[in-house]
Amino acid sequence: MTATTDRKTRSRREGWGSLRKLSSGRWQARYPGPDGHTYTARTEDDKPLTFLTKTDARTWLANVHTQIARGLWEPPAVVAARRRAEAEAERARTLGFAEYAEHWMEMIRTQPNRSGKKRSEGTIRSYQSKVSGYLIPEFRDTPLRDIDAARIKVMTDRLDAIPSPLNPKSKFNGVSRPVLVVLMMILRQAAREGIIPAAPPVSVPKQESVRYDSDHAETDDVARPDQVEALYDATPEHFGIMVLLAAWCQLRRGECLGLQRRDIIWHEDGTATLYVHRQLNANTGDLTMPKTEAGKRPLSVPDIMLHRLRKHLEDNVAPEAKAPVVPTTRRGSVPLSNTRWGYIWAEVREKVNDLPFRYRFHDLRHTGLTIFAQEGATLAELMRRGGHSDIRVVLRYQHSTMARDRELAERMSRTAQAKIEARKKADKDSQGGDGHL
C-alpha cells in the first residue's frame, strides 16, 4: 500500500465534513464553520475531542451540522469562554468568607498599598489577628453575597458586648472598631473584584478612648514638667534617658530604642542635634525605617536634657558609632527591647504621684508636643518635630528651619526648667513651714 493510499484510508471526506483515523486508533472529525473557517472537533471546554469509533465521529458531525442549520452554532472558543464565565459567576455566588479572607490576606502580604509601598509586618499581623480571631470565627463559610447589613449588625452587637480589658467600665472595648474596619476593607475589595455586586454598608464607630470615660479631655494626658522629672528620677539610671527623649525630644518608643550613638551630633557651642533614622520594631524586634518619610527628621536637643544626655552617653553607651543609646546592659551592643521597657515603665509610673490614670509612655511625647505648641510653634513646626505625615501638603508652604526649631526647643526648656525649680522651691518651703510649726 502506498503512502497516498494510506492517507486516503485514514482521511475520508463525508457528505459534510471529514473524518481521519489517528495513529492511536481513535477518530478525528473536521468541519467547515459558517464563518469560513475549518474546525476540528473540540469539547465545550475547548479541548481536543476524538472518538472511539467512526460511527461516533459521524454522529457528532451530524449534530454539529444540525446546530449550524438551526443557527445555534457558536465557535468552540466562544462556548468555552461563556462556560468559564458561568463557572466563575457560580463560584462567586457560593464563595465563602473564610476562603476569600485568606485570599485577601495574601494580597495584603504581597501587593503594595495605594501609595506604592509594601505594608509593614506590624500592619499585616494586625490585620491577620482581626481576620483569624474575629471575622472567620464569625462568618466561617458564609457566602460573601449573604453578608448584608443585618448580618453585620449581628456581629457588631456581639463585638460590642466584649468587655474592655483595660477599663471594664468603659463603653468602648477597643475591639469593635478595628475589626469592622478590616471587614469593610475585605468587602470593598470583593466588590472591586466583582465577587459581590457592591459592598454592604459597615457602620464603623468613631475612635473613642478605652482607658477613660467620655468626659476625659486630651489635656488630662499632659504631665507637668515636675512629674516628668519625677519619672526620670524613678527610672533605673541607665534607662532614665528614655523619659527625657520622649518628653523633650518628642520621640516615639521605637524611635528611642532605635537610636544609635552616631545619631547624636554635638556642635562647638555645646548644643546637639538628634537625627531620627530608624526605629526598633515592636512586632519583629528588628531595626526598621520609620513608617513614613516624615518620621526621618533632625531635632534640636533642648538644654533641659543636654547635660544628662552627654553623661548618659559617657556612662552607659559603648563607643562604637552604631552602639545603641539605650542598651539592654551598660555599654552593651543590644538595644533594650520594647517588651522589657514596657515592664520597666509599668513599675516606674506607679512611683510617681498624681499621674493621669494608666499614664502611657507615649503620653510623654504628647506632653512635650503640647508644651512645644504652647510656646508658639506653628502647625507645620509642630508636625515636623513630631514626625507626623498627615500634614505634608502644609509643610510645602510653611517651611520650618532648624534655627526656629532650636529657638522653640530652648524656650520649651526654659519654661519646663522654671516650673521644676518652682515646684522644688514650693516643696522646700512647705517642708520648712511644717518644721517651724
Asked if residue 379 lies in contact with residue 400, where contact means CB atoms within 8 angstroms, the answer is: no
Alpha-carbon torsion (194, 196, 198, 202), positive or negative: negative
pLDDT > 70 fraction of the chain, expressed in percent and rounded: 86
31: β partners: 39
User: Which domains does the chain show, CATH number per domain?
Assistant: 3-77 (no CATH), 95-192 (1.10.150.130), 219-436 (1.10.443.10)
Instruction: Residue 16: count other Cβ atoms within 10 Å of its Cβ.
Output: 12
AA letter at 257: L
Write down the residue that cell numbers 520594631 correspond to: 281
Dig out the grid coordinates for 257 from the structure. Answer: 530604642
205: left (phi over 0), alpha (psi -120 to 50) or beta: beta
Say which range, 38-42, 60-64, 188-192, 401-405, has the weakest mean pLDDT: 401-405
Q: Which of 383, 243, 226 is nearest to 299 (CA)?
A: 383
With bands split at pLDDT 50, 70 and 90, how would you rate the model's confidence at 220? low
Query: 188-212 burial, b for 16+ CB within 10 Å, e for fewer?
Result: ebbeeeebbeebbebeeeeeeebbb
Contacts of 309 (CB under 8 A, 6+ apart): 241, 244, 264, 272, 301
Can you tell me the distance from the alpha carbon of 385 to that of 405, in angstroms, rounded to the nearest whole number?
8
Phi, psi values for residue 396, rounded to 5°: -65, -30
Say which range, 87-91, 263-267, 306-310, has the weakest mean pLDDT: 87-91
pTM, full prediction: 0.60
Can you tell me the distance from the alpha carbon of 280 to that of 282, in angstroms, rounded to the nearest whole number?
6
HSE on the CB side for 384, CA within 13 Å? 24
Q: Which of 294, 280, 338 is nearest to 121 (CA)?
A: 280
With bands split at pLDDT 50, 70 and 90, how would you rate the model's confidence at 102? very high
Q: Which of 1, 76, 63, 4 is nearest to 35 (CA)?
A: 76
With bands split at pLDDT 50, 70 and 90, how would you rate the model's confidence at 5? very low
Say which range, 21-35, 49-63, 125-139, 150-164, has the weakest mean pLDDT: 150-164
Contacts of 151 (CB under 8 A, 6+ apart): 139, 142
Contacts of 188 (CB under 8 A, 6+ apart): 199
Taking 60 as the threshold, does the pLDDT of residue 377 lie above it?
yes
Instruction: Residue 147: count other Cβ atoms within 10 Å of its Cβ.
Output: 22
Say which range, 55-59, 79-83, 246-250, 258-262, has the weakest mean pLDDT: 79-83
Q: Helix/strand/coil (H, E, C) string of the chain?
A: CCHHHHHHHHEEECCCCEEEECCCCCEEEEEECCCCCEEECECCCCCECCECCHHHHHHHHHHHHHHHHCCCCCCHHHHHHHHHHHHHHHHHHHCEHHHHHHHHHHHHHHCCCCCCCCCCHHHHHHHHHHHHHHHHHHHCCCEHHHCCHHHHHHHHHHHHCCCCCCCCCCCCCCCHHHHHHHHHHHHHHHHHCCCCCCCCCCCCCCCCCCCCCCCCCHHHHCCCHHHHHHHHHHCCHHHCHHHHHHHHCCCCHHHHHHCEHHHEEECCCCCEEEEECCEECCCCCCEECCCCHHHCEEEECCHHHHHHHHHHHHHHCCCCCCCECCECCCCCCCECCHHHHHHHHHHHHCCCCCCCCCCCCHHHHHHHHHHHHHCCCCHHHHHHHHCCCCCHHHHCCCCCCHHHHHHHHHHHHHHHHHHHHHHHHHHHHHHHHHHHC
Per residue in 49-85, pLDDT (tens digit) is 999 999 999 999 999 999 999 999 999 999 988 888 8
With bands split at pLDDT 50, 70 and 90, how would you rate the model's confidence at 4? very low
Burial label, 172 (beta-carbon count in 10 A; 0-12, 13-18, 19+) = buried
Taking 70 as the threshold, does the pLDDT of residue 289 lie above it?
yes
Average pLDDT in the chain: 86
With bands split at pLDDT 50, 70 and 90, how would you rate the model's confidence at 392? low
Write down the residue that cell numbers 534640636 correspond to: 300
